[in-house]
């Protein structure tokens, strides 16, 4: 498969989405440094490229096999000529149901990438994915252990 080169910081986010569409965990992982860090939406934390590859390969096989991921908004904050933070607001649709007869709703997330240039290409040192919970301000864990997003403003 042919992919675009990684010549600009925002290409990391664009190629992440392209690799997702192809269910290509190898390409997705290749966007990351060998010792990269990745925190997913539930706080699972992977500490190297191979762990990131394995997690996404599992996800493509079991959770996101029929999903689509699309970029809604993309912002780049340059930290230096060779480093940047890329924020991508994403829409995820088609996640696999956990129970028959259920259909997970569309989700929105913000995926943050810390990227740097090496020679003539960009690579990701760290990424964190955060679910967007509309109109909520924080999360609470109830005494019974259930997790719930809440709003403090009236």
Q: How far is CA 145 from the centre of its chain?
A: 26
Helices (H), 22-90: 25-30, 49-62
Q: Dihedrals φ, ψ of 100, to 5°?
A: -55, 140
Residue 86 pLDDT? 98
Quote the pLDDT of residue 1: 66
pTM for this prediction: 0.93
Q: What is the rounded CA–CA span in Å between residue 105 and residue 40? A: 18
E strands present in the chain: 32-39, 45-46, 68-80, 83-93, 107-118, 121-131, 138-141, 147-150
Mind listing the pLDDT tens digit for each residue in 78-120? 999 999 999 999 999 999 998 888 888 999 999 999 999 988 8
Mean pLDDT computed over every residue of the chain:
95
| Backbone CA torsion sign across 15, 16, 18, 19 | positive
Q: Which residues touch 51 (CB under 8 Å, ≥6 apart)?
A: 38
pLDDT single digits (tens) 11-59? 999 999 999 999 999 999 999 999 999 999 999 999 999 999 999 999 9
Cβ partners under 8 Å of residue 151, min gap 6: 135, 136, 137
CATH (one of 3.40.50.2300, 3.50.50.60, 3.10.450.50, 3.40.50.1110) for 11-150: 3.10.450.50
State yes or no: pLDDT of 65 exceeds 90: yes
Q: Which residues, in sequence order, are CB contacts of 109 under 8 Å at separation 6+? A: 41, 89, 90, 92, 129, 130, 131, 132
Q: For the residues 58-72, what does the mean pLDDT come to? A: 97
């Amino acid at each position: 498969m042919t992919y675009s080169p990684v010549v600009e910081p925002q290409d990391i986010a664009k190629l992440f989405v392209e690799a997702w569409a192809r269910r290509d965990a190898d390409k997705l992982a290749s966007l990351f440094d060998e010792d990269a860090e990745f925190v997913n939406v539930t706080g699972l934390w992977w500490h190297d490229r191979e762990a990131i590859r394995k997690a996404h390969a599992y996800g493509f096989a079991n959770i996101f096999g029929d999903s689509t991921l699309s970029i809604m908004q993309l912002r780049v904050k340059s930290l230096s000529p060779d480093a940047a933070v890329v924020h991508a607001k994403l829409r995820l649709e088609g996640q696999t149901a956990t129970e028959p007869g259920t259909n997970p709703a569309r989700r929105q997330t913000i995926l943050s990438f810390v990227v740097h240039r090496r020679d003539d290409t960009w690579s990701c040192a760290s990424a964190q994915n955060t679910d967007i919970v509309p109109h909520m301000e924080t999360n609470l864990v109830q005494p019974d252990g259930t997790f719930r997003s809440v709003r403090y403003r009236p």
